[in-house]
Structure 1
Amino acid sequence: MKDTGRFFTVGLVAAWYSSNIGVLLLNKYLLSSYGFKYPVFLTMCHMTACSLLSYIAIAWMKMVPMQTIRSRVQFFKISALSLIFCASVVSGNISLKYLPVSFNQAIGATTPFFTAVFAYLMTFKREAWLTYISLIPVVTGVIIASGGEPSFQLFGFIMCVGATAARALKSVLQGILLSSEGEKLNSMNLLLYMAPVAVIFLLPAALVMEENVVGITIALARDDIKIVWYLIFNSALSYFVNLTNFLVTKHTSALTLQVLGNAKGAVAVVVSILIFRNPVSVTGMLGYSLTVIGVVLYSEAKKRSK
C-alpha cells in the first residue's frame, strides 16, 4: 500500500511538471515560433477551458465538494482577484513573445521577493531578518542574469516582472480577502468562480487590443487546422496545471511543494533550451543559479521562522 501511494504521488508530480512545462513551452511556440501573436486571446481561451473543466470536475465528477459564494461582497473580492490573475497571466504570455523561456523562468523565481514586499506593505507583516537576507541572492541573481542574457528585450522584461509581481499580489490579497472561515475557498473552487469572471474581463480586452483576432484565427484555421488543435490542447493543459497543482498540494506537504516548485523551474529552463536552442551565456546561467539558491534559502528561512 505504501508503494502504491508513493507511485501515485510520483505520478501526480510528473503530471504537474509535464502540464506546467508543456503549457509554458506551447505558449512560447504559439506566440513566437508559430506566429500566433495574440496573448490576450490565448489567455481568454485558457480561462474558458478552466471555466468548463472546473465545472465538470466539481459539479459532475465530484472531485471536491462544491463551495458556494455566500455574499455579494465575497463575489466582488473574487472578481478583484480574478482581475489581478488576468493581468498576471496576460503579462506572462506577452513576455513569452519577446523573452526565451529560460530567462522568463529566472524572473519568475523572484516571486518570493515580491510576496514579502506586498505582505509588508499591505499587512505590515515582518519576516525574520534571515528571511530578508535570503532574498538578496534572489534579486541579485536576476540582475546578473539580465546583464548576461543574449536575448534581453526591455519590454518583455517589464512584462515578465509585472506578471511576477501580479502573481505575488494575488497570493497576498487572497490571504487577506478570503481569510475568514466562511469565505475560504479551496483552489479548485476559487478557479471555478475566477475563470468565468476572467473571460468577461478578457473578451472585450482581446477585441479592442487585438483587432479582428477572431476573424484572423478563423482564417488561420482554414489554412492550417492544426492551430485549432493547438489552442484546444493548450487551453485544456492550462486547466490541468491547476488541477495537478491542487492534487500535489493535497498529497504532499507545503515544504515538499516549495522544493518541487523550485526544481520545476530549473527543469523548465533545461527543457526549453534543448527545444528552442536559445543562446545562453555562462553569466546568465550563473545568475539564474544564484536566484534558485536564494529561493531555496528563503524557503529554509521561512520554515525555521515558524
Structure 2
Amino acid sequence: MAAITPLPSSHLLMKQTHLTMISLSSPATFHPIVRLPRRKRHHFLRFTPPSSSPFVLKVAEGDALSRSPPPWPMSLDSDQGRPPKMKAPTRLFTFGLIASWYSSNIGVLLLNKYLLSNYGFKYPIFLTMCHMTACSLFSYVAIAWLKVVPMQTIRSRVQFLKISTLSFIFCISVVFGNISLRYLPVSFNQAIGATTPFFTAIFAYLMTFKREAWLTYVALIPVVTGVIIASGGEPSFHLFGFIICVAATAARALKTVLQGILLSSEGEKLNSMNLLLYMAPMAVVFLLPATLVMEENVVGITLALARDDVKIIWYLLFNSALAYFVNLTNFLVTKHTSALTLQVLGNAKGAVAVVVSILIFRNPVSVTGMLGYSLTVIGVIFYGEAKKRSKPQQS
C-alpha cells in the first residue's frame, strides 16, 4: 500500500492527539495521522471489502443487521425460499362466478324463448342486434374504463378482415339459434347444441387435415345417436326449426375452428373479451341492414308494442345486458377454474337449462327424448376425456 504523506505542521492543531498507523506494505515506516472530529455514524449499509484488502471492516456481533431474520424463510423447498404468493380466489368467490355464469346463460336462453315464442316478439334478427349493441357498449366500458383486461389493438388490415369474417359467422350462429327457439323447446334446442364437438371435429379435419385419435371419433358416435333418438321422441318436433338449429350449431363450430386458424399467430391472438369488443360492432353493421330488409318496420312495431305494454322495453334491455354478462362470466370462470372444471360445468349447464325450461314452460317431454339427450351428454363427456388423453400422445 502506498505510504500516506504527513500533513504540514501548519495544518495541525497543538491540542489534537496524534495517532499512528502501521503500513502493512512498509512496516518500518511510521506516519502521523490527524484525528478529525467524529461524525455521527449511520449504519444503513454494510460493506465488506475483498479478503486481499489490508483493512477489514466488521459489524459488531450485537449489530441489529446481523440478527434480523430474512424477509422470508430461506429453504430449498419449492414453497419456501420465495416471496409469499397472493392467495387464490376464495371458494365463495369462485362459486359466485359459476352461479353468475349459469344464471346469465340460462336466463338469456329462457328469456329469448319467452320473447320469441310465448310473448309473440317474432323478430330474432332485431333481438340479436340488440344483444350485439349491448355487447359493444359494455365491452368498451369494461376494457377502456374499468380495465377488466388490457386493451389489445388491431394491428393490420388483414387482421381486421379476419375478425370481420369471424363476426359474420358469429352473427349467423346467434341469429339461427334465436330463430330455432321460435319453433323448438329449449330442451330439444340444447340437445342439438350439444353436438357442437361433432361439427368441430369435422371442420377441423376438412380445413386443417387434423386427425384425432380413433377413440375420439368413436366417442362422437353416441353424441349423434343421442340426437337422432331425441328427435324421434320429441313431441314438439319441427322440421324447419330442427334444420335451423343444426345450422346454428354447425356455424358455432365453424367459428371456433376458423378462429384457431385465422388468429393463430402470436401477434394476432386476442382474448375473448377483446375479440368481443371488435366483433360486436361489426355484427351490428351486418345485422342492421338485415333486420331492416327482412323484418320490415320492426322499430315501429316495437314502439307500438311498448305503448300497449312498456315491459317489452325492459325485457329487451335486460335481455341485452344478460347477453353481455354471458360472455363476461364465461371469461372470468375460464380464468379462475381449470380446463377440466370448465368442461364439467359446461356439460352440467346444458342439463340444468333443460330441467329449468321444462319446469317453467311445461313443454311435453318423452322418456325416449330424455334418454336420447342423456346419451348425447354422455357422448360429449367421453369425447372430452378422449381428447384429453390424446394430447400427450400428439405432443
Shift of 1:86: 0.2
Using the TM superposition, give the Cα deviation of residue 4 of structure 1 relative to its aligned residue in structure 2, in angstroms. Answer: 5.7
Query: Which residue number in structure 1 is paired with residue 274 of structure 2?
Result: 189
Aligned to 1:291: 376
* CA distance in structure 1 between the aligned counterparts of 2:344 and 2:247, rounded to whole angstroms: 24
* Paired amino acid for 1:224: D
Please point out which of 76, 81, 91 is paired with 2:166: 81
Partner of 2:244: 159
Q: CA deviation at 1:3?
A: 8.8
Greater relative contact order structure (CA < 8 Å, 6+ sep) = 1
Shift of 1:167: 0.4
Q: What is the CA–CA distance in structure 1 between the aligned matches of 2:124 and 2:340, rounded to whole Å?
A: 33
The answer to whether residue 86 in structure 2 is matched with residue 10 in structure 1 is no
1:124 counterpart residue number:
209
Counterpart secondary structure, 1:182: coil
Q: 2:338 aligns with which of 247, 253, 267?
A: 253
Q: Post-superposition shift, 1:271?
A: 0.2
2:136 to 37, 48, 51: 51
Name the CA shift for 1:69/1:4 in 2 (closer, same or farther; >3 Å): closer
What secondary structure does 2:90 align onto? helix
1:106 corresponds to: 191
Provide TM-score, normalisation by structure 1. 0.99
Q: How does 1:1-306 map to 2 (within 5 A)?
A: 5-306=90-391
Distance in 2 (CA, whole Å) between partners of 1:155 and 1:230 is: 27
Provide the rounded CA distance (Å) in 2 between the counterparts of 1:197 and 1:236: 18
Name stretches of at least 5 consecutive residues in structure 2 with no aligned partner.
1-85
**2:188–2:234 contact (8 Å) kept in structure 1:** yes
Give the TM-score normalised by structure 2. Answer: 0.77
Cα distance per residue 1:105-143 (max 9 Å; x no partner): 000000000000000000000000000000000000000
Q: Which secondary structure state, in structure 1, belongs to the residue aligned with residue 331 of structure 2?
A: helix
Runs of 4+ in 1 over 6 A off after TM superposition: none
Shift of 1:6: 1.2
Gaps of 5+ in 1: none
- Tell me, what secondary structure is at the counterpart of 1:67? coil
Q: Give 1 or 2 for the bigger CA radius of gyration.
A: 2
Distance 1:92 1:202 in 2: 15
- Which residue identity does 2:365 align to in structure 1? V
Q: State the Cα distance separating 1:7 from its structure 2 match.
A: 1.1
Q: Which has the higher helix share?
A: 1
* Corresponding residue SS for 1:126: coil
Deviation (angstroms), 1:2: 6.8
Contact 2:89 2:336 in 1 (8 A): no
C-alpha distance in structure 2 between counterparts of 1:3 and 1:181, whole Å = 28
Matched residue type, 1:210: E
Equivalenced residues, count: 306
Q: Distance between the aligned counterparts of 2:292 and 2:127, measured in 1?
A: 12
